[in-house]
Structure 1
Amino acid sequence: KQEVETDNGFPSTIFFSLEEEEELEVGGPAEFTSFPEDLVAEQLTYMDAQLFKKVVPHHCLGCIWSRRDKKENKHLAPTIRATISQFNTLTKCVASTVLGGKELKTQQRAKVIEKWINIAHECRILKNFSSLRAIISALQSNSIYRLKKTWAAVPKDRMLMFEELSDIFSDHNNHLTSRELLMKEGTSKFANLDSSVKENQKRTQRRLQLQKDMGVMQGTVPYLGTFLTDLTMLDTALQDYIEGGLINFEKRRREFEVIAQIKLLQSACNSYCMTPDPKFIQW
């Protein structure tokens, strides 16, 4: 396994090989397929929300987080490290279940990929952008994306769904789409989804209507890497002090805006009403 870490601490590229999957401490594909997709998404959201609520916002500041790689700072910002660890664990889990071993047939791998795409869609409905990005990143990794025969066996409507979900995190215009979604849905009660695929749109509307009928409100779990990147860039681009030794209030104001958004989303996470599933947690 090889991971290339970005400035925000999240891996940008992930490589896996079939032989290395035995190192991952997760259950096999057969056990994974027994879990309902909405249950998996809910359990991932439960874990992500618990971790995100514990994040100490000011530890995300570039002046603090950028020092994480120094030997004496290996215990710096543990709540952020825990969130990144969960993200990495999920990407490895996706790869492990898809690759699974040389005995898996093409159709079996395609079914697992289809299941993960459905789980990613459920995460989107739950506004869990952290697990959503982790799943998409894993499916886009070289070791999985190169499986041309497997992808060819994935149903067309699921491929279109995968493309739509992938577009959320497109790096076009500084990840504008994901930023706009976060601003639009961050504190809203429900996700606002639209799909060009008719069947996907029907499925989504059914799920959202069920949530509304049950009076279930959703929080929002952001992809923390976006905030870490923004704050690191702010710290690099702007000096702490300006001419005459005065505090650079413009820098502090812009940092405060990001920190305030993190706190607002942490508060919104309290809207989630989920309980851990022991069987899934053990898996």
Structure 2
Amino acid sequence: KQNLSVADVHIDRCSCFPQDSRMPQTTPFAAQFPQNPYGGGPTRYQPAEESYGGLRFHDNSLVSGSLEALIQHLVPTVDYSPDRSYIFTFLLSSRLFLHPYDLMTRVCYLCVEHHRVGDPQIDKKRIRDIAPKIVQLLTEWTETFPYDFRDERMMRSLKEMTHRLAFGDELSRRAMQRLIQRLLRKLTILGQYEESLVTSGSAVAAVTASSSTAAEKPSALKAKQHIRREECILNVCDDPFILAQQLTHIEMERLGYIGPEEFVQAFIQKRPADNHKGFFSKRRVSNLEAYVEWFNRLSYLVATEICLPVKKKHRARVLEFFIDVARECFNIGNFNSLMAIITGMNMSPVSRLKKTWGKVNTDKFEILEHQMDPSNNFYSYRTALRGATQRSATAHTTREKIVIPFFSLFIKDIYFLNEGCSSRLPNGHINFEKFWELARQVSEFLAWRQVICPFERDRKTLQYLISVSVFTDDELQLASYESEGPENNLERDTRRSLR
């Protein structure tokens, strides 16, 4: 596997700058973040080449550095404050190289202990001068990466830092106490959400045929279908616009609980140190995985609802209904539900219902399929996503701000960014250009997830979408053959094996 050449190109450019150059830190997307509230004027940057192996800049942008130098660049001093984009980028990417607790330990040492001179008055004044900047750094960490503090050691370090800051600055001590209170509230809410996923079974991959389901007797499959045919989405909600709104509620709620670190955590081999009590024991389920599982559930729900009705005209009505729902999802900017619906309608048990499809005007469906066409690396979808993102950036209403990406493709893009670019350069430096791009993509996701869903909640519809049972693959096939009989020997053999 070859790495992308862009990294090597920038290495050559960076070699033009002397090792001791004093170039200011700027970032490719710093404008996305507000100004440092503690900054009274221009920040004086002090790159750490001399003591920590050096940082490399190109066109005023940090492109590489040793791990130790990058850690030093994260730590505020009396004369220096790291900007928010650098804090986010390094906290996001550093976990590829060291555990968050190891980083926390190093940061605490550099913030306080490393610069002690032994004179109580001088040390107290220095802590008082730097304390607001330390509070700001830890605020960024706890607000953006709260899951890190499920590690008991992280929380202990945070409380120890509160005690140290109390030595020099009462205001900062109070700020740290408020910070910890907010963090605990957030962790409580996150824990309750994860518990609800476990309780409802939403995080379990149950939409595909499990070994136990596959072993069920055909009579059991038929019995399930008979019971299930008493329920239908149109009896709960027959307005495509309202259903699209309720799907958007579910999407935005689940997006909101995905931590940015989960995108990076997926690339990390589990380390022995991660077995420490408290780090993973309280993380019952990956919210990222649970969100992907929701996509699968919605696809199977759509296929189930279409295969449910006995009469052809009723199946055609449900099919047309979901086409309209998909169109409303597109208009809202909910591309994930749109793709899940299209996926459900393209599943074999649905796509083979030719007589049913013959009753439907497929023009709208073909337009939607074109928008999500995977050819040319999903060019049509990416164009639509850019349009939705631009609309969101200039929106005058909350509804116009909604952007819900096709999530599986979003994860795939991040995966290929990580796999396609080397994290370390030949000189041993960390390739920070790669991590600027990673942070740019993840920060865009964070902006999307912060939007509050403006639509009114329909509890009955939401409950149906989340909890109603869906068919497995075998049950879908059997329902499809009962609706429209097999047309060839392969289908006849398949049906015979299910009956």
The TM-score range, normalised by the shorter chain, is 0.7 to 0.9
- The Cα of 1:122 is off from its aligned counterpart by 1.0
With over 3 angstroms needed to count, the CA separation of the structure-2 counterparts of 1:21 and 1:37, relative to structure 1, is: farther
The residue that corresponds to 1:39 in the other structure is 242
Identity %: 23
- The Cα of 1:141 is off from its aligned counterpart by 1.2
2:304 is aligned, of 82, 96, 119, to 96
- The CA deviation string for residues 65-123 of structure 1, in whole angstroms up to 9 with x for no partner, is 24699xx989687221221122111111101111116xx12221111100000111111
Contact 1:187 1:220 in 2 (8 A): no
With over 3 angstroms needed to count, the CA separation of the structure-2 counterparts of 1:57 and 1:27, relative to structure 1, is: farther
**Residue correspondence of structure 1 range 190-269 to structure 2 within 5 A:** 217-267=400-450, 269=451
Contact 1:187 1:265 in 2 (8 A): no
Q: Structure 1: which 4+ aligned runs deviate by more than 6 Å?
A: 23-27
In 2, Cα distance between the equivalents of 1:105 and 1:68? 52
The residue that corresponds to 1:146 in the other structure is 352
SS where residue 186 of structure 1 aligns? Answer: helix
Structure 2's unaligned 5+ residue stretches are 1-204, 465-499
| Structure 2 counterpart of 1:282, one-letter code | Q
Structure 1's unaligned 5+ residue stretches are 1-10, 191-211
| Structure 2 counterpart of 1:277, one-letter code | D
Q: How large is the RMSD of aligned CA atoms in angstroms?
A: 3.5
In 2, Cα distance between the equivalents of 1:255 and 1:21? 50
In 1, Cα distance between the equivalents of 2:223 and 2:366? 26
Which deviates the most, 72-81 or 31-40?
Answer: 72-81
1:182 is aligned, of 381, 385, 391, to 385
In 1, Cα distance between the equivalents of 2:419 and 2:334? 29
| Structure 1 counterpart of 2:257, one-letter code | K
Contact 1:29 1:112 in 2 (8 A): no
Looking at both structures, which has the greater relative contact order when contacts are Cα pairs under 8 Å and sequence separation is at least 6? 1
Contact 1:57 1:259 in 2 (8 A): yes
- Confirm or deny that 1:273 pairs with 2:474: no
| Structure 2 counterpart of 1:106, one-letter code | K
In 1, Cα distance between the equivalents of 2:358 and 2:254? 36
In 1, Cα distance between the equivalents of 2:240 and 2:376? 32
The residue that corresponds to 1:79 in the other structure is 287
- The CA deviation string for residues 188-210 of structure 1, in whole angstroms up to 9 with x for no partner, is 259xxxxxxxxxxxxxxxxxxxx
- Confirm or deny that 1:65 pairs with 2:248: no
In 2, Cα distance between the equivalents of 1:33 and 1:161? 24
In 1, Cα distance between the equivalents of 2:269 and 2:457? 31
Say which one has the larger Rg. Answer: 2
With over 3 angstroms needed to count, the CA separation of the structure-2 counterparts of 1:217 and 1:239, relative to structure 1, is: closer
- The CA deviation string for residues 168-225 of structure 1, in whole angstroms up to 9 with x for no partner, is 11111111111121122125259xxxxxxxxxxxxxxxxxxxxx9x995451111111
Question: TM-score, with normalisation over the residues of structure 1?
Answer: 0.73
